[in-house]
């Protein structure tokens, strides 16, 4: 299986990693709705069995539950994938999510316990909030690396100015930004900055949170349950929704020529740029893993990229 080096680290990662956001289940503000734990564990195991060598989770996903499921899925397995997780999103007794970088040392211990491991391969600040705590938070992250609690440290959802502030304290191994055909904001400044400073990029939601999989219809989007955060997203409402579904028809046609799903085409589109080290791809069942694993080694031709770009320019 081909791998790529992640930024300034010694981590050699596959082109896609397993994203454990959605499997956290319901009951918190960014949930994807109810999730069967057995199917979640089967999805993780299917991804690893298929060759994916890293899993990205976070303490806040399911308010700790995602990390617990990752540990259960990997228990007793010989060769373990790299484990990436995140700090700075806490929750209170009423399950309200709080942003803070003042308790990172406690957070790492909690995550190590839930994940049942002695060291985290990549530990990331989840969001740069509160902004005035970035220096304090990043200094704590650097200390954890020095102590061997984590192997490498990265950031998620940071802009260029915020990365520059952190880099004055300690090198940044990676950035985790949203990047897909329905969210291209990082192309202007953030991706060029990462390329110039050898910061690895592992983009999340390469399929637009499910919009580009081919499974999202107008009717399904209109009837998403209230405990699914996507029901409150403008991308899942008209007029944007109609545009995205039209885009999927193009991805579907391209995929059919190669025996690939539209989701795999969408993932491959994000991987067309060398600055993008790898993509984080979620799956809530083993069946969904089968629909995305082909993106591991599928790459678009220049003509296919141009066809997609032509649609995007005509339908911004």
To which residue do tokens 């690895």 refer? 200
CA atoms within 13 A on the CB side of 297: 6
Nearest to 301 by CA among 263, 255, 243: 255
C-beta neighbour count of 239 within 10 angstroms = 8
* Helical packing angle, 134-147 and 160-167, nearest 10°: 50
Task: Report the C-alpha dihedral over residues 244, 247, 252, 257, rounded to 10 degrees.
Answer: -160
Please provide residue 117's backbone torsions phi and psi, each rounded to the nearest 5 degrees.
-140, 165
Alpha carbon distance, N-terminus to C-terminus of the chain: 36
Among 18, 61, 123, 179, which one carries the catalytic annotation?
61
Q: Cα–Cα distance between 67 and 41 in angstroms, integer?
A: 11
* Structure-block tokens of residue 184: 């291209």
| Residue 61 annotated in active site | yes
Q: Cα–Cα distance between 63 and 28 in angstroms, integer?
A: 7
Which helix (H) or strand (E) element contains residue 176? strand 174-176
Q: Are strands 89-91 and 3-5 parallel, antiparallel or unpaired?
A: unpaired
Active site residues: 61
């Amino acid at each position: 299986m081909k791998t790529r080096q992640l930024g300034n680290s010694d981590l050699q990662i596959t082109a896609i990693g397993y994203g454990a956001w959605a499997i956290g289940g319901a009951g918190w503000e960014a949930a994807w709705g109810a999730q069967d734990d057995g199917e979640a564990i089967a999805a993780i195991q299917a991804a690893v069995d298929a060759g994916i060598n890293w899993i990205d989770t976070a303490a806040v996903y399911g308010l700790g539950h995602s990390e617990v499921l990752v540990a259960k899925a990997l228990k007793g397995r010989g060769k373990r994938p790299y484990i990436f997780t995140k700090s700075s999103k806490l929750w209170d007794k009423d399950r309200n999510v709080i942003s803070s970088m003042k308790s990172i040392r406690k957070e790492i211990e909690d995550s190590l316990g839930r994940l049942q491991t002695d060291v985290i391969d990549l530990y990331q600040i989840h969001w740069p909030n509160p902004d005035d705590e970035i220096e304090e938070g990043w200094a704590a992250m650097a200390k954890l690396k020095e102590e061997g609690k984590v192997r490498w440290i990265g950031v998620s959802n940071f802009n260029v100015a915020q990365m520059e502030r952190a880099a004055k304290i300690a090198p940044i191994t990676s950035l985790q930004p949203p990047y897909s055909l329905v969210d291209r904001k990082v192309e202007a400044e953030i991706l060029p900055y990462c390329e110039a400073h050898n910061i690895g990029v592992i983009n999340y939601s390469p399929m637009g949170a499910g919009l580009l999989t081919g499974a999202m219809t107008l009717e399904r989007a209109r009837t998403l349950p209230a405990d699914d955060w996507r029901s409150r997203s403008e991308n899942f409402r008209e007029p944007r929704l109609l545009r995205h579904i039209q885009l999927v028809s193009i991805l579907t046609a391209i995929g059919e020529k190669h025996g690939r799903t539209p989701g795999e085409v969408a993932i491959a589109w994000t991987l067309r740029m060398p600055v993008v080290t790898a993509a984080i791809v979620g799956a809530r069942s083993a069946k969904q893993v089968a629909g995305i694993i082909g993106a591991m080694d599928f790459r678009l031709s220049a003509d296919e990229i141009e066809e997609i770009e032509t649609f995007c320019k005509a339908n911004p």
